[in-house]
Structure 1
Amino acid sequence: MLQFFSFKGTINFLGHAIPVSCISAILVLSSLASIATKGINWGLDFTGGTVVELSFTQVVDLAQIRSGLTSDETDGSVVQHFGSSRDVLIRLPVKQGVKSDIQVAQVMSIATSLDPSVVQKRVEFVGPQVGKQLAEQGGLAVLAALICILIYVSFRFEWRLAVGAVTALAHDVIVTLGVFSVFQLDFDLTVLAGLLTVVGYSLNDTIVVFDRIRENFLKLRKNTPIDVVNISITQTMSRTIITTGTTLIVVIALFLKGGTMIHGFATALLMGIFVGTFSSIYVASLLAIKLGINREHMMPVEVEKEGADQNTLTP
């Protein structure tokens, strides 16, 4: 049976590495399988379409609006509240051979039948080509972020730690995308922003752990690499709990009370915080151990000064 504490009150995190790694592998493989089979439910920001924002003078029933948007021109529309129960946001998909003006006219016809004083506050159109470019650029943004992080951590620490950090970030991104794929949640630009925020949040947590690992490798000369990593994670655990807890308070508030427009953003952050904290311990640090990180790799490079080995001549 694995011991929960290794020595002197240090939590034996890596003692549970095998079962936790299996869980992590299952999550990643399940996410990849869902993305390959079900795909991502791209929002209108990526697929293109028309967005109409309406302001009613009284509370409106969304079901009545949806029942009127069943024609060939408006089928597949997304209707949701925007801020309050009197403000409505309607997303109309691109239809072959149908102009957006016709779609907007049908929306206004339905809206005025429910409330003659309805106000059309905003109409925006995103072409399918623009949406495709946004999807490509969003994917490149995530890829570029991971490459830059790999380079930075390699210079800042050591390449074995860099590989662990980038693998942990890729793990977080894949699992978060898998959740959106499994539940077919709408993936728009706000979710992409949340995904990039998850990368930054998880990296910050990983860097804190790595910095303590490097310090302890130089201090604890007689301990094994596994012991050093366990000690380092235990020492930073109080900081992780406080940071994660305070962040969760804000994110949960956004998730419950933030409104529909940032619901996807809050969902991505909520998933990313849990997965990112988990991966900093059991993905990044464990992979560095598997790659053979040790004290010699953490030692600073000694630079010989010119003329240091020359004898001083006395007159």
Structure 2
Amino acid sequence: MKLLKLVPQDTNIRFLKLRVPFFILSLVLIAGSWMAVAVNGLNLGIDFAGGQEVRLTFEENDAAPVGELRERVAALGYGTPVVQEFGAPNVVSIRVPLPEGAEDTPGVATEIGNQVIATVEENYPGVRTDGNETVSGKVAEEFSRDAALALLAAMAMVALYIWVRFEWQFGVGALFALFHDVSVTLGLFALFQLEFGLQIIAAILAIIGYSLNDTIVVYDRIRENLKKYRKMPLPELLDLSVNETLARTVMTSLTLLVALLPLLLFGPASLFGLVAAITAGLFIGTYSSVYLAAPLLVWMGVTSDSFVPKETDADRQEKKVLGQV
């Protein structure tokens, strides 16, 4: 039985022929994304904007009906709630956004929490209230700071890893590609005003991981070909390397897309932002690996001698001694 090949073995697409227009396009996308964030802002979720948190225990149930709770609390009209298990299957944390100014008005936030509790108790007898607290803006600011630090630390460690494994030019190329991926993802959330919460930070970290994986595969093939084809012009060598890894890239992307599309189209609303971010990042990360990470090596002076060990004085002395023998 003949194996199905999504990408023919003799594929020879000249990706780097359009490296300048695509690089300009990438710069425009980055600038436009940050402009959208500055003008529209991000539609921050409860994790970053604060809200009212209610903790409940369903004493007569083995597990809390998380999906039903989300629908019933959303019907109160305070926005999309965040409903999560809290330490045990029958314990939940329900967080709802607060109207503007509610946090500064005594009793308003607590009353909203009481409405949530009353709604749950009305439909589910035997519920115990464990807490009714306001998540302040200060706590939300700490979440925002920690999330930003997590993203910066991830990108910095990625650059350091690639720098050590390859050369500094590869580290700079990978870091710029990741900056592009994160920027465009943030721009999409600012443009379409999708809710931006902690789960989106997890999605961005997943995008960084996927993009990095794809970039390292391409870089590893480039390094091999630099040693193998010493006289080949660098743009041609980069095209060859990308084409040789294209089958793997397409197969990985399609496999992930098959898993994401059903969730995107038919999954619960609470997961839409997370799945949408990863789906967009799948295409953004693949694009940056091909049209940013690889072409940048040309402009940063990578040559066929980049991975050839330099001859030291000891090596030359040894050759001289051997020649005399």
TM-score w.r.t. structure 2 length? 0.78
Q: Secondary structure at the match of 2:52?
A: strand
The equivalent of 1:95 in structure 2 is 103
The equivalent of 1:4 in structure 2 is none
Q: Quick one: which of 37, 40, 43 aligns to 1:41?
A: 43
CA distance in 2, matches of 1:121, 1:250: 38
CA distance in 2, matches of 1:178, 1:12: 29
Does 2:163 correspond to 1:161?
Answer: no
**Aligned-pair distance for 1:116?**
7.5
CA distance in 1, matches of 2:73, 2:321: 92
Q: Quick one: which of 10, 18, 21 aligns to 2:20?
A: 18
The equivalent of 2:304 in structure 1 is 295
The equivalent of 1:235 in structure 2 is 244
Q: Quick one: which of 177, 188, 205 aligns to 1:196?
A: 205
CA distance in 1, matches of 2:197, 2:172: 29
CA distance in 2, matches of 1:131, 1:82: 18
Q: Secondary structure at the match of 2:12?
A: coil
CA distance in 1, matches of 2:169, 2:69: 57
The equivalent of 1:3 in structure 2 is none
The residue type paired with residue 295 of structure 2 is L
**Aligned-pair distance for 1:150?**
1.5
**Aligned-pair distance for 1:53?**
7.8
Percentage of pairs with the same residue: 32
Deviations 1:167-218 (A, max 9, x none): 0000000000000111111111111011111111101100000000011111
- Counterparts in 2 of 1:205 and 1:68: CA distance versus 1, 3 Å: closer
Contact 2:51 2:95 in 1 (8 A): no
Where structure 1 has 5 or more consecutive residues not aligned to the other structure, the ranges are 1-7, 70-75
CA distance in 2, matches of 1:194, 1:34: 20
The residue type paired with residue 96 of structure 1 is D
The equivalent of 2:279 in structure 1 is 270
Alpha carbon RMSD of aligned pairs, Å? Answer: 3.3
Q: Secondary structure at the match of 1:262?
A: helix
Alignment of 1:146-185 (within 5 A): 146-185=155-194
**Aligned-pair distance for 1:104?**
1.4
Q: Secondary structure at the match of 2:287?
A: helix
Where structure 2 has 5 or more consecutive residues not aligned to the other structure, the ranges are 1-9, 57-63, 86-91
Task: Out of 221-230 and 257-266, give the one that drifted further.
Answer: 257-266
The equivalent of 1:5 in structure 2 is none
- Counterparts in 2 of 1:59 and 1:9: CA distance versus 1, 3 Å: closer
The equivalent of 2:218 in structure 1 is 209
Q: Quick one: which of 293, 308, 314 aligns to 2:318?
A: 308
In the alignment of these two chains, the number of paired residues is 295
- Counterparts in 2 of 1:119 and 1:298: CA distance versus 1, 3 Å: same
Q: Secondary structure at the match of 1:296?
A: coil
The residue type paired with residue 91 of structure 1 is V
Deviations 1:92-127 (A, max 9, x none): 3262133443221123445667x5859578867433
- Counterparts in 2 of 1:223 and 1:253: CA distance versus 1, 3 Å: same
The residue type paired with residue 212 of structure 1 is R
The residue type paired with residue 308 of structure 1 is E
Task: Out of 22-31 and 285-294, give the one that drifted further.
Answer: 22-31
CA distance in 1, matches of 2:83, 2:153: 35
The equivalent of 1:221 in structure 2 is 230
CA distance in 2, matches of 1:268, 1:122: 34
CA distance in 1, matches of 2:120, 2:24: 53
**Aligned-pair distance for 1:23?**
2.6
- Counterparts in 2 of 1:90 and 1:130: CA distance versus 1, 3 Å: closer
Contact 1:77 1:90 in 2 (8 A): no
**Aligned-pair distance for 1:225?**
0.2
